[in-house]
Structure 1
Amino acid sequence: MKVNIINKTPNKIKNKILDTAKYILKNKKNKTINIKITNEKNIKILNKKYRGKNKTTDVLTFKNENIKIHNDIGTIILCPEIMKKTQKKNHWQKTLIHSILHILNYNHIKNKDFIIMSKIEKKIGMSGIEPPTITTSK
């Protein structure tokens, strides 16, 4: 499993992102996930372009639909500026976990799917919290 972090990120944050992603993806050998760190302006532009919503968001998740053909399974775009505004403890980590699970085909559209995804999140370390609000796009 390979994790590409795009954009300059302080080593302390970069290491936490890598550790979290690698833990979740430990059984996904020969797969790559891209994590891009961006600012409010850029995430607003991307949210409008890909989702038609002219507002900021904390994260955008893009799943590669051809994961059987490509090793690149998806891209997650995180906006730390937005996450800081929520002032929730470890919000970036919870958001990253949630986004990776979406890339791995988990969702919470139906109640039974929400329960399954919540159990996995709790097992990973999100016990006792509600999943973060996530913006998932294809």
Structure 2
Amino acid sequence: MLDIECEDARWQAADLDRLVAEAAGAVLAHFGLNLDECEFAVLACSDARIAELNAEFRDKPKPTNVLSWPAEELSAAEDGGSPQKPEPDFTGECALGDIAIAYETCAREAEEAHKSFADHVRHLVVHGILHLLGYDHIRDKDATLMESLEVEILGKLGIKDPYILDEGPDPGS
């Protein structure tokens, strides 16, 4: 079950429900999980709200693009190892956790990287769900694994590698 709460009306105009469903479906399918059998929530908010959450949960009182709160610790013990697969509870659902995503930061990053807002949002949702599934980017091999998964999953959505910077239009054209 997917629950999306829009605290900032700009997200509704961005068709967030569709973007989240596409990204979530791609991530979960990659791991053989069904969107209908996984439970997580997305808070679509402003930079001000995500800065509050970032201060409260990470002691970093500034906006960020996406935050994740996994329902359970699935991380691999070894750097670069695969996390545990989430197990369904007695109802048959897998509780994954919660994600918050900030509108202004997403819009600014997309513009700075010359990427479409929709593609950047899908990337951040993929990134957030990978965190819910136990992936991280603190240790080097974990970061390499997580980034390669993001690139592979986004490629299945027709989104090019987000880690290759697009310098924008050629000034000579």
2:141 is matched with which residue? 112
Deviates more, 1:58-67 or 1:94-103: 58-67
1:59 is matched with which residue? 66
How many angstroms does 1:11 deviate by?
Answer: 7.2
Any idea what the Cα deviations from partners look like across 1:44-70, whole Å, max 9, x if unmatched?
A: 111111111111111111111276557
1:71 is matched with which residue? 94
> CA contact under 8 A between 1:38 and 1:77: conserved in structure 2?
yes
User: RMSD of aligned C-alpha atoms?
Assistant: 2.3
Q: Secondary structure at the match of 1:25?
A: helix
Structure 1 residue corresponding to 2:38, chosen from 10, 31, 40? 31
Question: Taking structure 2 as the reference length, what is the TM-score of the superposition?
Answer: 0.65
Deviates more, 1:28-37 or 1:58-67: 58-67
Cα separation, partners in 2 of 1:11 and 1:54, compared to 1, 3 Å: closer
Q: 1:122 and 1:11 mapped to 2: Cα distance?
A: 23
Structure 2 residue corresponding to 1:130, chosen from 136, 155, 163? 163
> CA contact under 8 A between 1:80 and 1:92: conserved in structure 2?
no
Q: Structure 2 counterpart of 1:5, which letter?
A: I
The count of aligned residue pairs is: 130
Cα separation, partners in 2 of 1:53 and 1:115, compared to 1, 3 Å: closer
Deviates more, 1:82-91 or 1:62-71: 62-71
How many angstroms does 1:79 deviate by?
Answer: 0.5
Q: Structure 2 counterpart of 1:15, which letter?
A: R
Q: 1:128 and 1:106 mapped to 2: Cα distance?
A: 18
2:24 is matched with which residue? 21
Q: 1:113 and 1:58 mapped to 2: Cα distance?
A: 20
In structure 2, runs of 5+ residues without a counterpart are: 74-85, 165-173
Deviates more, 1:115-124 or 1:9-18: 9-18
Which structure has the larger Rg?
A: 2
In structure 1, runs of 5+ residues without a counterpart are: 132-138
Q: Structure 1 counterpart of 2:33, which letter?
A: K
